[in-house]
Amino acid sequence: MIQPRLLTRRLFQQASPLQSLSNHAGRPIRTSILRSQARRSYAASGEKGPRPIPGQSPFKIWPFLAIILAGSGSYMLLVKSRTDMAAAAQASKSSGQIAAPKKDTPTFSSDKVTVVFVLGGPGAGKGTQCANLVRDYNFTHLSAGDLLRAEQDRPGSEFGQLIKDYIKDGAIVPMEVTVQLLENAMTETLSKTKDGKGRFLIDGFPRKLDQAVKFEESVCKAKFVLFYDCPEDVMEKRLLKRGETSGRTDDNAESIKKRFKTFVETSMPVVDTYDKEGKVVKVVANKSPEDVYAETKKKIEGRI
Ligand code: ADP
Ligand code: AMP
């Protein structure tokens, strides 16, 4: 006869993480596995089922079952949160749509955390000006593009190929991936502070309205949007020049064209929406880097 305590240990040893996800019909099967494995265990030992130990109450097994069920439930939730993100990204790639995970309150309070979105066309000079602002205003610079490229190159990333394809095409990477990368980076930065306070320049984000809504709902409210306005022909020249040394897969004529199209059709509506709310600080970016910075400083002084 197998003692309940032994049985509990055996079940935990036998159930693999994959088994806890779904059965062939895609339904959660952890508990059914437990039940069927329990049956197998008893069958193997020639038992029909657990018999109460003489002198002990048969109800003693319930605490163990409760622990197994509670443990299985938490484990399933943990694994599910990771697989949901991957599934959402895959679904989005094929359908262009994504179901946003639910989260109603922002992780970071705007009392403690200042977020400034930095937008502008590809090559408008966002990264260049962010470097100046970091130097002078104690901001942390988080570039959505840099975070995506780092994730793309991270060994073992489940999103590597997906990100690569989107970037080469100048397309918007599914927001679940981008928003999560930003939140992780913010969490890491803030964990190193004593008071949990911080200032972030979030560069190249939000590039689509759904990202803006999702980020402000679930991560942090933005203080304002710094928008670098630059004509396409100027940006194109800068990007082609940068492409001579950047090693980027999207700094070439074909990808640049697609990036401009994405910017006009998808990202400009974000700027327009924030503009209607009076949250856009617009800076003319078709000047020398020094002049662009001088205008930037002048325009943001009263706002940060
Ligand atoms: P973004 O981050 O908006 O894509 P970058 O800051 O990387 O743009 O700038 C794109 C390229 O243009 C870089 O090679 C950069 O050195 C150059 N650049 C940036 N700002 C200016 C400017 N005001 N005038 C000329 N070149 C610039
Ligand atoms: P950047 O480094 O800002 O020029 O961005 C390079 C590429 O990364 C873009 O063309 C997109 O494919 C991807 N990307 C950058 N930012 C975002 C974002 N906020 N949302 C989705 N994709 C992004």
- pLDDT value at 16 more than 60: no
Q: Could you tell me if the CB of 123 is within 6 A of ligand 1?
A: yes
Greater pLDDT, 236 or 29 = 236
Q: Is the CB of 130 under 6 A from ligand 2?
A: no
Residue 99 has pLDDT above 50, yes or no: no
Q: Rounded mean pLDDT of 88-92?
A: 46
Please check the confidence at residue 136 and state whether its pLDDT lies above 60.
Answer: yes
Mutate to test the pocket of ligand 1, among 117, 118, 128, 240 (most ligand atoms within 8 A of CB): 128
Ligand 1 atom 10, closest CA: 123
User: What span, in angstroms and rounded, lies between the C-alpha atoms of 227 and 119?
Assistant: 5
- Which residue's CA is the nearest one to ligand 1's atom 20? 125
- State the pLDDT confidence band at 93, using cuts at 50, 70 and 90: very low
Residue nearest (by alpha carbon) to ligand 1 atom 12? 238
Share of the chain above pLDDT 70, in %: 67
- Comparing CA positions, the residue from 215, 143, 227, 150 lying closest to residue 183 is 215
Identify the nearest ligand to the CA of 284 by its number.
Answer: 1
139 appears as a binding residue in the annotation: no
CA 133 to CA 294: how far, in whole Å? 11
Between 56-60, 128-132, 237-241, the lowest mean confidence (pLDDT) is in 56-60
Per the CB < 8 A criterion, the answer to whether 141 and 134 are in contact is yes
**CA angle at residue 176 from 174 to 181, to 5 degrees?**
105
Ligand nearest to the CA of 151: 2
Average pLDDT over residues 265-287: 98
205 appears as a binding residue in the annotation: yes
The answer to whether residue 22 scores a pLDDT higher than 80 is no
Q: Is the CB of 166 under 6 A from ligand 2?
A: yes
**Ligand 2 centroid from CA 259, angstroms:** 9
pTM: 0.74
Domains present along the chain, CATH in parentheses: 4-86 (no CATH), 113-300 (3.40.50.300)
Reported residue count of the chain is 304
What integer is the mean pLDDT of 189-206? 97
Token digits for 44? 């193997």
Average pLDDT, integer, range 265-293: 98
Distance of CA 88 to the CA centre of its chain: 11
In whole angstroms, give the CA distance from residue 182 to residue 174: 13
